[in-house]
Amino acid sequence: MPDIFYLSSHPGFFNWMGRAKRAIAIIAWVMLVMGVWSCNSGSEIPQRGAEQFELGVMAVDITPPIGYNMYGYPPVKSTGIKDSLYAKALVFKQGDTKGALLICNLLGIPRDLSRVVREEVSKEIGIPFQNITVSATHTHTAPGITREFQNYIEKSESSSSSDSEVEHYFEFLIQGMVKAVTAAYGNRRPVRIKSGIGQAEGVSFNRRYLMTDGKVRFNPGRSNQKIVSPAGPVDPAVHVVLFQADDQPTFNASLTVFSSHYVRGGTEFSADYPYFIEKELKSTLGKEFVSVFGLGACGDVNTVDVTGAKVESSDDKVESMGNTLAEIVKGVAQNSKINTPDFGVSTRVIYLPLQDYSEEELEWSKSGTLGFYPERPFLEQRRRLKISEWGVQPPLEQLRLREAIPPSVSGEPWRLPVEIHVFKLDSETAIVTMPGELFVELGIELKRQSPFNNTMLIELANADIAYVPTARAFEEGDYEAINSRLAPGSGEKMVEVAVEMLNELFREDQ
């Protein structure tokens, strides 16, 4: 309890209250949470049979040195660190079943990065490779790694060596990611689970709009008089699961999933609004609390209100958004019940068609001449990047060389292996991970069909495959469709398979 009094004087926490009121509010909140546990749990952790459910959690700093390249095209040198970047691991074990969720403050996860980390983790602590998933939070104030990491892997495979700053960081990054999972496995303990869903209305917006000319535009700008209406929905659901060790008075970790692109830009490293989620929760629950954030399906959702009704600085907005989501996590902690753990893992690889390109398009993409979108140079550039030029994600030409499977029969498409994970925590709660920036409509549909009340879909896992639009969005066109790699219908197929996997795991409870 002395830590609670110390935290009550933390700058910025409940700054609308006096010091005495802050202390009272914090104590009351912790007592309420403890009371809810007591009312629901009794003295024993609910378990599947005699098998205890164990959780391990660990956060490891993976921030590059100042001066390292930031994400972007073209990349720029970083000039500072607003807040550190982390690799955060949740390791689950019940009986003989083990699994791990690793989420990193990176823009994306190259396939080879996921592979190398998972191979090393599996070798060190015995979690099966297929029971480990690695995701990115997609912060736009993270290091740029995609092309450089492929070069690093190619050198590693050929046993050539280099002493560059880039390669030193990749070694540091891999070690940090592996350490997060192995250390989490080593510190696991029996835990209770609380799971629930809150709502964050009015903080996210669909960034695709129907315009007066009948076309759909992404990010058309604030107060644009040619906007007719949003071209798609948002998903205000905030999915939460909290963990409390049996020997602790309150929670020691949480997983929060929300669907929105990030707020910050600039040249200073930052974890963006998830940093402020954790900062606020730590101020209440203690310095050792770990908040893990997973990005929900938000390929077409961001935080820009084009009506211009409320314009905030990025610093104010990122803190406000983080605090808003943290308060929702607290609400779930107070109002939800304890569930009986019943852990299971399912993994499936499906083979989805890549978009095609002709020899003429390949030549055009390398020529620099105008072609498809002369009135919008940004889209012209993005189509070039998709076909042959290196940008933020690998182009189709490189995917064919390293990741895709050539057609076995003439006229068939190249296909890309796509991995889907499902972790069942209990009869109410499941975590799904998929690669790509999934459109929010796909996430909403997955949750609508899922048999689990709290289905936490986390995107950008295990491969960097750019946008996954809906079939309708491909028809509407514009940035996300032009920048995608998979053929139309792939997103719907990913949802279909994930729903099958969820139903299979759910039936195990019946």
- Domain encompassing residue 80: 47-345+434-464+495-507
97 contact partners, CB below 8 Å, separation of at least 6: 131, 343, 344, 345
Residue 256 lies in a domain: yes
User: Which backbone phi and psi does 4 adopt, to 5 degrees?
Assistant: -65, -40
Angle between helix 359-367 and helix 377-387 axes, rounded to 10 deg: 120
**pTM value?**
0.90
Residue 445 lies in a domain: yes
Residue 287 lies in a domain: yes
Closest CA to 460 of 438, 486, 484: 438
Residue 411 lies in a domain: no
Please count the other Cβ atoms lying within 10 Å of the Cβ belonging to residue 371: 14
Structural domain count, the chain: 1
Beta bridge partners of 254: 242, 291
Residue 168 lies in a domain: yes
- Supply the DSSP string of 292-312, one letter for each residue: EEEE-S-TTEES--TT-S---
Beta bridge partners of 229: 210
Residue 131 lies in a domain: yes
**What pLDDT is attached to residue 74?**
77
Largest separation between any pair of C-alpha atoms in the chain: 75
Adjacency order of strands within the sheet including 429-433: 341-353, 415-426, 429-433, 454-458
**What pLDDT is attached to residue 391?**
81
Residue 142 lies in a domain: yes
Beta strands in 16-166 (DSSP E): 53-61, 80-81, 86-94, 97-104, 132-136
User: Is residue 335 helix, strand or coil?
Assistant: helix
Angle at 491 between CA 488 and CA 494, to 5 degrees: 135
**What pLDDT is attached to residue 14?**
33
Rounded Cα distance between 466 and 390, Å, is: 13
Residue 408 lies in a domain: no
pLDDT tens for the chain, 510 residues long, are 333 222 333 333 333 334 444 444 444 444 444 443 333 333 344 455 458 999 999 999 999 999 999 987 778 899 999 999 999 999 999 999 999 999 999 999 999 999 999 999 999 999 999 999 999 999 999 998 988 899 899 888 776 666 677 889 999 999 999 999 999 999 999 999 999 999 999 999 999 999 999 999 999 999 999 999 999 999 999 999 999 998 888 899 999 999 999 989 899 999 999 999 999 999 999 999 999 999 999 999 999 999 877 677 888 999 999 999 999 999 999 999 898 999 999 999 999 999 999 999 999 999 878 778 888 888 988 999 999 988 889 999 999 999 999 999 999 999 999 999 999 999 999 999 999 999 999 999 999 999 999 999 999 999 999 999 999 999 999 999 999 999 999 999 999 999 999 999 999 866
User: Is residue 37 helix, strand or coil?
Assistant: helix
User: Which backbone phi and psi does 493 adopt, to 5 degrees?
Assistant: -65, -40
